[in-house]
Amino acid sequence: KQEVTQIPAALSVPEGENLVLNCSFTDSAIYNLQWFRQDPGKGLTSLLLIQSSQREQTSGRLNASLDKSSGRSTLYIAASQPGDSATYLCAVYILETSGSRLTFGEGTQLTVNP
Amino acid sequence: DAGVIQSPRHEVTEMGQEVTLRCKLISGHNSLFWYRQTMMRGLELLIYFNNNVPIDDSGMPEDRFSAKMPNASFSTLKIQPSEPRDSAVYFCASSLDSPSTDTQYFGPGTRLTVL
């Protein structure tokens, strides 16, 4: 059964700092990996989707990498801003015998202090 | 497009009552997903439809839960009878077609409290 782990569970940084969020998964047979952002009391917003054949995706100040062989992904946020404060979740899409599904990590709660 | 629309946003009910959650997909999307989020278990997939057909319902907790897509743009998730352990935030998401290649877009969620 696929397990997704995110480290750290919480992170607090001063504004302007570059930071890295980590995601690891146990089964490398994934179709894609997505990073989402969730604000308190809100739904999830997709940030980046990396297909299994890709190694990284970039959007603005965000860069996500994928290393399937080691079962790891990182989300790099450059020049962090208070508006980046949210919970960041990674999820891997896999095909299991019981069906296909997006399996989520527990998230990293990020606080960017002004 | 207004994105994925869910209603109600909040629902408080008593144990044993029937609860119906509603979801409208993004226009043109063919895949729909129902998720449940709790502090204890995180975010879990309940059921996934593609072109109105249930593809994976292995996450549906038990027979008390049922989901339907009466048409290509609308879905309901019904809990009957509801129990306190069903209290959670229920999210609906849609994607253009295959979730193996397409981004999932989430609705704002329905916060369900069963007393």
pLDDT at B21: 98
Q: How confident is the model at residue A96 (pLDDT cuts 50, 70, 90)?
A: low
Hey, what are A27's tokens?
A: 């089964």
What confidence tens digit (pLDDT) does each residue in A44-93 have?
999 999 999 999 999 999 999 999 999 999 999 999 999 999 999 999 98
Give chain A positions within 8 Å (CB) of B48.
99-101
Query: How distant is the Cα of B14 from the closest Cα of chain A, in angstroms?
Result: 22
What confidence tens digit (pLDDT) does each residue in A100-114 have?
678 899 999 999 999
Hey, what are A75's tokens?
A: 């989300």
Query: How distant is the Cα of A34 from the closest Cα of chain B, in angstroms?
Result: 8
What confidence tens digit (pLDDT) does each residue in B1-57 have?
679 999 999 999 999 999 999 999 999 999 999 999 998 888 999 999 999 999 888
* CB within 8 Å: A32 and B59: no
Nearest to B90 by CA among B114, B55, B56, B58: B114
Nearest to B3 by CA among B115, B105, B112: B105
Would you give the end-to-end CA distance of chain A in angstroms?
A: 41
The pLDDT of residue A99 is above 70: no
Nearest to A100 among B100, B103, B107 (CB): B100
* CB within 8 Å: B56 and A100: yes
Q: How confident is the model at residue B84 (pLDDT cuts 50, 70, 90)?
A: very high
Give chain A positions within 8 Å (CB) of B90.
none
Give percent above pLDDT 90 in chain B.
Answer: 74
Interface residue of A1, A45, A102 to substitute, partner B, most B CBs within 10 Å: A102
Which residues make Cβ contacts (< 8 Å) with residue B3, sequence separation at least 6?
B26, B105, B107
Nearest to B106 among A44, A98, A99 (CB): A44
Give chain A positions within 8 Å (CB) of B103.
34, 46, 49
CB B89 within 8 A of CB B9: no
Span B75-81, average pLDDT: 97
Nearest to A32 by CA among A9, A10, A4, A6: A4
The pLDDT of residue B76 is above 90: yes
Question: What gap in Å lies between CA A99 and CA A66, rounded to an integer?
Answer: 23
CB B91 within 8 A of CB B37: yes
CB B59 within 8 A of CB B47: yes
Q: How far is CA B44 from the centre of its chain?
A: 11
Span A25-30, average pLDDT: 88
